[in-house]
Amino acid sequence: MIKFSVIVPIFRVEQYLNRCMESIVNQTYRNLEIIMVDDGSPDSCPALCEEWKRRDSRIQVIHKENGGLALARNSGLEIASGDYVSFVDSDDYLVTDLFSLAACELEKSKADICWFGHCMVDRDGKKRNAPMDYPDRVTEKDIRFELLPRTCGTGFTHAGSSYSLVPAWSGIYRRAFLDENNLRFQKIVSEDKLFNMQAFYHVKSVSFLAKPLYMYCENASSLTKVYRPYLFDAACDLYARQKKLVGQWGLQTILDQAVHASFLTHVHACLKQENRFVWDADTRKAKQKMKTICESTQTQAAIRQYPMETVELKKRIFYRCVQLRLVHAVRWILRMHDALETT
C-alpha cells in the first residue's frame, strides 16, 4: 500500500490553516504522513501546528527559523519517509479523494511523477478550472520534447494546448526519484519552475489525472496584489539559472524558446506592478524603473531571440514597445489590460 508524505510549509496563514489541514486529514485515503513545517511564523500558526499534532498521530511538526518556502519544503523532504511526496501550500486545500485517485493511478503506472489538475479560487469563492488537456500517455520522447518545455510555463508557446507543468503542488513525486537525482528547491523567486525543470529533465515516467483535485486560492498576499520591488532582479536570476541548465544539458533547440518566453512573462509582470502600484504615487520613480526594465540587457536579448512573428498581435505590439523603450506606450497598453480585467 502506497504511503504518501504530505509536506505543508506554513507562514502567516492562521486564517487559512485549519481549512487546509482539514482537507488533508479528512482524505479518503488514510496512509499519509503529514509534515507541517512552521517556517518561523509570527502569528498563532505554531500553536495551531501543535494542536493539529495532538489531534492526529499521522502529523509531525517542524519548527524552524524563517527561511522561505523553498527551505521549508526541503526541511520536510529531509524527514519524509513515504513512497511518494506531495506539497500543499497552507492557504490552499485539497479535494478529499486526491490521494485515493493518485494511489490507484500510481499502483498501475509506477510513475516517478503523477500530475493532476487544479482549480483557481478567487477571493469571492468563485472557481475556475485550469487547463487540463493532458496527454493520455507519454513516451520518453514526449517528456523531453513536449513536457520539459512546459515547466517554464505556457508563455507564448503551445497555443493549441495550454496546460503548464510549473507548480510543485500540482505534482506527486516518487521520493526515491527525488533523492536519486538530488532534487531540492532553491531559494529563489519562482522556485517551482527551476525544480520542475530539473525534475522533468531527469524523469522517465509521468502519469496524469485530468481532474481538478487541488484548490489554489487567491488571497491578499498574491503576487498580483502586493508590490515586490525585488521582482525584476529575481526574474533575471531565474532566467540566468535556466539558461545555465539548458547549456549544461545541451538542449538549446528544445528549451531556449520556452526559457525566453518564461522570462518575458516575468518582464510583463514587473512592468505591470510598477504601473499598478507606483506610477500614480511616484511617476518619476515608476518611469525610471520601467525604463530600466526595458533597457535591461536580458530583456533586450530575450525579445531579440524569441520568434515574435509567432506571437499574437497584441503581445507583439507590447514587446515591440518594450524593445524600443517606449515607456509611455507600454504604460498605456498596461492600463488598457487592467481596464479589461476589471470589466
Q: What is the pTM of this model?
A: 0.94
Q: Apex CA 166: angle with CA 173 and CA 84, to 5°? A: 10
The predicted pLDDT at position 123 comes to 87
Helix (H, G, I), strand (E, B) or coil at 10: strand
The predicted pLDDT at position 221 comes to 63
Q: How many CB atoms lie within 10 A of CB 81?
A: 11
Q: Are strands 84-87 and 4-10 parallel, antiparallel or unpaired?
A: parallel
pLDDT tens digit string along 61-104?
Answer: 999 999 999 999 999 999 999 999 999 999 999 999 999 999 99
The predicted pLDDT at position 18 comes to 98
Contacts of 176-181 spanning 24+ positions with Cβ under 8 A: 176/83, 177/112, 177/113, 177/202, 177/203, 178/77, 178/85
The predicted pLDDT at position 161 comes to 59
- The answer to whether the beta carbons of residues 102 and 114 sit under 8 Å apart is yes
Question: What is the end-to-end Cα distance of the chain in Å, rounded?
Answer: 50
- The answer to whether the beta carbons of residues 51 and 22 sit under 8 Å apart is no
Phi, psi of 266 (to 5 degrees): -70, -40
The predicted pLDDT at position 154 comes to 79
pLDDT tens digit string along 298-323?
Answer: 999 999 999 999 888 999 999 999 99
Q: How many CB atoms lie within 10 A of CB 315?
A: 15
The helix or strand, by DSSP H or E, that contains position 273, with its residue range, turns out to be: helix 252-273
Distance separating alpha carbons of residues 185 and 199, to the nearest angstrom: 11
The predicted pLDDT at position 226 comes to 81
The predicted pLDDT at position 22 comes to 98
pLDDT tens digit string along 147-167?
Answer: 999 999 877 764 455 899 999
Greater pLDDT, 154 or 279:
279
Q: Quick one: pLDDT band at residue 342, thresholds 50, 70, 90?
A: very low
- The answer to whether the beta carbons of residues 38 and 45 sit under 8 Å apart is yes
Q: What is the dihedral of CA 116, 122, 124, 127, to 10 degrees?
A: -30
Distance separating alpha carbons of residues 10 and 312, to the nearest angstrom: 40
